[in-house]
Structure 1
Amino acid sequence: MSQVTTSQLPWRAPLLTVLLLACSSVAMAQWQWVDSTGRKVFSDTPPPASIPDKSILKKPGSGMAPPAVTAEPAATAAATAAPAAPQIPARDTELEAKKKQAEQAEEARKKAEAEHVAKARADNCERARKAKITMDSGVRLATTNAKGEREIMDDKAKAAETQRMEGIIRNDCGPLPKQ
């Protein structure tokens, strides 16, 4: 069996060219219109009957669809003199609604976080005030060291702990009351 070379089949190049041109003309046979939600639709089939002619942007073979001609030139002049407010496509309103919903969720999260922090500060304030009252009472206090042994606090340790409690009270409760 012998091999066939391209030089023996001279008709291949013109055939390929014709096929490519046929495919490109089919690819150009596209319909383009704006549907009822404001989205552009591209199809090789005509739009449904519910789509008005003014919404058809492109027809196969004609390039762009001709602009719609109105029967009332006075209405056209009035429309060009006072432009209407731009209409927001449906997708933009959906996007705005989702954006607003996300902002509300973020606001709610921040509010819950602020409430959590406020509750923790109030709890710290109450504990620090109780601890300061205990420090100021003059009662002997004991702590547990790293070995688990009980140690009695001396005056220096009490003063340091009292200062620490006053700092917590200042941060979480506000200024200390005058004595």
Structure 2
Amino acid sequence: MKISRLRLSARVGFTALAAGLALGVCTSAMAQWKWRDTNNRIQYSDLPPPAGVPESSILQRPAGATRRTPPQFVAPAASAASGAEAQASGPAATTDPELEAKRKKGEQDQAAARKAEEAKNAAARADSCNRARAYQKSLDEGQRMARVNAAGEREVYDDKIRAEESKRTREIIAADCK
């Protein structure tokens, strides 16, 4: 009998623990906003009320939600005379040095990336040029050459195929060997 009571209390304890965890997880789902709309009706939502709802009309908010604060507008400290001086000295005087440094660094990074891409393209063109010249030299020397056609058969270059390949190779040389 003692063993069955132990099992029963363990089951009850485990069930209570599982229920407690489930309720703890679900509390975020119960995060509800409650406010009065312009027609004086109470609205409920899991999203905050629209921006036009005054703070006094919000009746309930979720625990983690903060109060909305209106945006703070900073009055310009400079007078019209100092504004004219700032315009006369140029836009560089009014910009933030950190922002300017970040902008310059971004421009330098973009320029470096462009140069790297151009160098990569130039190397690819040079390689293509060298291959095309070597192939053209093989075609001009009259070496016996063959290719595999669409049916998987090997066909030897005749004069017509050799002329077509030579023309195509000259076009590649003209484009890549500048």
Q: TM-score, normalised by structure 2?
A: 0.48
Q: TM-score, normalised by structure 1?
A: 0.48
Give the structure with the larger helix fraction. Answer: 2
Task: Specify the structure having the higher radius of gyration (Cα).
Answer: 1
